[in-house]
Amino acid sequence: MTVTVDEDRYRLLEDLMIDSRLDADSAGRPLAPVPAYLLPAPDQGPIIELPEPAAPRAGLDDVLFGRTAVRDYEPIPITAAELSAVCAAAERMDADSWASERDGGVGLEFYCAAWRVTGVDTGLYRYLPGRDALRRVASLPDGPDAAELVMQSEFAQAAAVLVITGNLAGSLARHGSHGHRLLLSRAGAAAHAAWLAALRLHLGGSVFAGLLPHVLRERAGADGYHRAPLLAFAVAHPAAEPAA
């Protein structure tokens, strides 16, 4: 029997509809916690306590509509309190919006590649929201060598980069194929919360893809499944605009 192209497309559509129905059926059932074997392995390292998050210097209405991606930065540090505010905003967005996912074992993790942060040595850190601290994970190159960590070299000139990872294995176990989309939505909300917090501190930055996959795999054990890179936010003092 000869199968036409239209018949092939029809069968593919049927398969996709079946997958969607299975996901919908799964979504209607009580969601089980993620099994322990699907949770990312913990890391160990020295801890740096962060100060209280810096208080906003501008209102949300003052910065919301003027928001624009900034990719040129001044080579001056941000404070640890400013970094604390950016990390706390991302964490708070996810905690307030997706508490049931976190309770079920599907949390987001926030890593910070720090280059110019007062009181924080250059390196890769994991943010510890329960104690407002950073746990050192690995060293990072500085200066021109830092460009090897990102696809677009300008982001290596930022003071710091907040990298958001998620438990893809756990999300897929709970939600089927929709699990990846849900993680990306959560990462997007967290990154934009961090962005708005930075703007309210008169800082700038840009949401972007993040560090190259092999960097996080080698330094943070991000295997792309139990700990999957999702999105990132570069933060720094914006470069002064050239005089007219």
| The pLDDT value given to residue 221 | 86
pLDDT band at residue 220 using 50, 70 and 90 as cut-offs:
confident
User: Listing from the earlier edge strand, what are the strands of the sheet with 160-166?
Assistant: 47-49, 133-138, 123-128, 108-114, 160-166, 228-236, 204-208
For 94-139, the pLDDT digits (tens) are 999 999 999 998 999 999 999 999 999 999 999 999 888 999 998 8
pLDDT average, residue stretch 149-165:
94
For residues 121 and 156, what is the distance between their CA atoms, to the nearest angstrom?
15
For 31-67, the pLDDT digits (tens) are 777 666 566 656 678 899 999 999 999 998 888 888 8
Q: What is the pTM of this model?
A: 0.82
Pairwise pLDDT comparison (43 vs 188), residue with the higher score? 188
The phi and psi torsions of 217 (rounded to 5 degrees) equal -65, -45
Q: Is CATH 3.40.109.10 correct for 46-236? A: yes
The DSSP letter of residue 213 is H
- Give yes or no for residue 171 having a pLDDT over 50: yes
The residue extents of the domains of the chain are 46-236
